[in-house]
Chains A and B, each alone.
Chain A
Amino acid sequence: MSGKRDLKGAAVIVQGFGNVGYHAARFLSEENGARITVVAERDGYVANADGLAIEALKQHQNKTGSILGFEGATSFPGDMKGIEQPCDILIPAAMENAIHAGNAECIKARLVVEAANGPVSFEADRALRTRGIIILPDLYVNAGGVVVSYFEWVKNLTHIPFGRMERRRRERRNQTIAATLERRAGRTDQIEDAVGCVGMTVGHRCTASRAKPALCLAAP
């Protein structure tokens, strides 16, 4: 995105504030420091250039049945042009064909992340890419849903709790790290004690950086 590699402060528009849109907005704003400037729904959109308070907006939606009328934002009832506002990242997380030949020219995002299934039509896909807008395809972006479903299915069939499998895997990994460090350092004291931390931290980072973006945008 024009050399910009940090999500911090990036303006993000989310269409659809259900499971997928809500979690994407939440993680992007809470963990990555992005500004969710617009949340669009079927009955209009809400906007706040400084970034919407996602958790409060969800509570407002749960209470009133709509995102409109949220205090910390300007509401645009019945206005479907929420996704056409300028932004860095547009996340269509509602329905298929949200971006079609009719509105593709009005999209001002630099990156479109297909969180819904097929939110960009064939013609719109061409139109966006001609204008240099990058599209992350749905098959990648929301595949976390089916991956987790696979694990659930496997777990139901094998009748083995995942926790037990994970524990054995972690034991093995930590032992490998311990052995490697011992070999390299030529000493065995202290390393045994420290290696648990190393193994665990590395594992945790991998989970956080790789799995989560896929999972949080998961549409089954």
Chain B
Amino acid sequence: MNAIPQRDVQLGETSSAGFLDSVDQNFRHEMTFLDLPEGLSERIMQCNSTYTVRFGVRLRGRMYSFVGWRSVHSDCEPVKGGIRYASNADAEEVEALAALMTLKCSLVDVPFGGSKGALKIDPREWTPQELERITRRFTQELNKRGLIGPGVNVPAPDIGTGEREMAWMMDEFRRANPTDVINARACVTGKPLSKGVSPVAPKQPVEVSNSPSRAISRIRAPPD
């Protein structure tokens, strides 16, 4: 079934085997410092849901099957986490990374729960045009299940993905939800500057009161 062009296993491709165990062990260890009611730490540790999707895309004159995951660790919505494109991705790895996202978001106090996604694919095997079709199809599948959207689940780039993929996902999401175009851009982060992340500097000339122009020139200089 799986006739995706396969590449020999790369030298030094680290194995994610045992990664979820490792994260869980860390979690259990840290939980011993908290005084939680019995069973609660286990509940916090587990991923709430992991969605597996298999879909086909017709490319190069035939059908190719792909498998992807999106795991939601906590239901503190919206949930946040990257989407990785890697040939060695699997559901366990995604769950472990989703758990780390929950902890990270609470640590730096951003109001997100943890999530993570992956698509089992080696992006180097495909042309940008093919990757776009695959990414758009993957986005449709996530959208169907409520696993992408400004208020529910907000993906970001990870290994093998970047601002280009985020722009495709945002565009596909916007097409699928034409009634909420005003907020649709917030369905992913890590987008290119031209797609909703305008640079910090405003377009109009900066006029800071109490600050003469030489002050502005001074802040442009590197810090000592």
The answer to whether B110 and A147 have CB atoms under 8 Å apart is yes
* Contact between B182 and A193, CB atoms less than 8 A apart: no
Which of A125, A200, A220 is close to B157, meaning CB atoms less than 8 Å apart? A220
Q: Is A84 an interface residue (CB 8 A)?
A: no
Residue with the greatest number of chain A CB neighbours at <10 A, chosen from B159, B185, B191, B197: B159
Interface residues of A in 75-121 (CB under 8 A from B): 78, 80, 94-98, 100, 117-118, 121
Q: What number of B residues sit within 8 Å (CB to CB) of A?
A: 68
B12 touches A171 (CB 8 A): no
Residues of B contacting A156 in the complex (Cβ-Cβ under 8 angstroms)? 150, 183, 185-186, 196
* Cβ–Cβ contact B189 & A149, under 8 A: yes
B15 within 8 A of A: yes
Closest to B25 in A: A122
Bin the interface of chain A by size. Answer: 35 or more
Complex contacts, B154 vs chain A, CB 8 Å: 149, 153
Task: Provide the bound-state CA to CA distance between A80 and B13, in Å.
Answer: 10
Residues of B within 8 A of A204 (CB): 219, 223
* B residues 1-45 touching A (CB-CB < 8 Å): 10-19, 21-23, 25-26, 29
Question: Which B residues lie within 8 Å of A96 (CB)?
Answer: 14, 16, 19, 22, 93, 96-97
Contact A166 B14, beta carbon cutoff 8 Å = no
- Known interface pairs A146-B101, A175-B209, A192-B210; A220-B158 also in contact (CB < 8 Å): yes
* 9 intermolecular pairs with C-beta atoms under 8 Å apart: A42-B10, A95-B14, A96-B16, A118-B97, A122-B21, A143-B108, A149-B80, A163-B198, A220-B189
* Closest 7 pairs between A and B when the two form their complex, measured CB to CB: A196-B211, A163-B202, A156-B186, A149-B189, A196-B215, A122-B25, A150-B110
